[in-house]
Amino acid sequence: MRYPNGTGKNIRQRMPKTQQKNGYSNRGMTLEEDINATNTYYLTVEKAIIHKKPTPVQIVKVHYPKRSAAVITEGYFKQPSTTDYNGIYRSRHIDFEAKETKNKTRFPLANIHEHQITHMKTIVEHGGICFLIIRFAAYDETYFMPAGRFFPYWEEKINGGKKSISYEQIKQEGYLIPFHFQARVNYLAVIDRVYFADKKD
C-alpha cells in the first residue's frame, strides 16, 4: 500500500516487530475498550453475559432547575469495592479485574487493592471463576492469570517481599489470550481450556 506522501512503505514494515509477530496491531484501543467490545460480541452471539461494573459515585450537590429535572453539579468517584467485570458463562459465575501496564519487565502490585483481593478470594471460595487480565502494552500481549496463581504473589508483597510480578513470571503462570477480530480479548477461549477441558457442551 502506498501512502499519500509517496513513501511507498509497506504497512507491515512500519509495524513494531512484536505486532508483526502477532499479526495485528493494538489498534489504539485500551484494554478496557477491547474487553467491552469483546463482551458486547459475547452477548450478541449469546455466548456469555458479562458486564463492566459501574464505578460508585458520591453525589454532593444537585441543582433542580425544574421540578421535573435534576442536574448533578458536584460529585466524586468513590473507590470501587470489588473487581471490574462479572457475569455468567456456562452456568458459572465469572469475576475478573483488568489491568494494563506500560512497564516492560514487571506488573506492579500497587495496581491492585486489598479489598479487591478479599473479594476475589470470596469468589473462589464459592466456586466462581476468578482471574486477572493483564496487558503489557509495550508488547501488545494480554494474559489471563487465575486468581489462585496470583494470590501467592500478593501474600509475598504484604509480608514484605517483592512488590511486583515479573513479565517472565506472568508468561509462565498465566495464559496468553488469543486475539480474535470480533472477540478482541477472547478470554472465554482460555476459560474453556482451563476450567472446562474435560466437559462437553
The residue range of the domain holding 138 is: 16-195
Residue 26 domain-assigned?
A: yes
Residue 179 lies in a domain: yes
> What predicted TM-score, i.e. pTM, was given to this entire model?
0.76
pLDDT at 22 (0 to 100) = 40
Over 90: is that where the pLDDT of 13 sits?
no
Confidence of residue 58 (pLDDT cuts 50, 70, 90): low
- Amino acid symbol at 114: E
DSSP string, 158-187: HTT--SEEEHHHHHHHSEEPPP-SSSTT-H
Please tell me the total number of residues recorded for the chain in this structure: 201
Q: How many domains does the chain have?
A: 1
Say if 75 falls within a structural domain.
Answer: yes
* 38: in domain: yes
Rounded-to-integer distance, Cα 42 and Cα 140, Å: 22
Q: Specify if 1 maps to a domain.
A: no
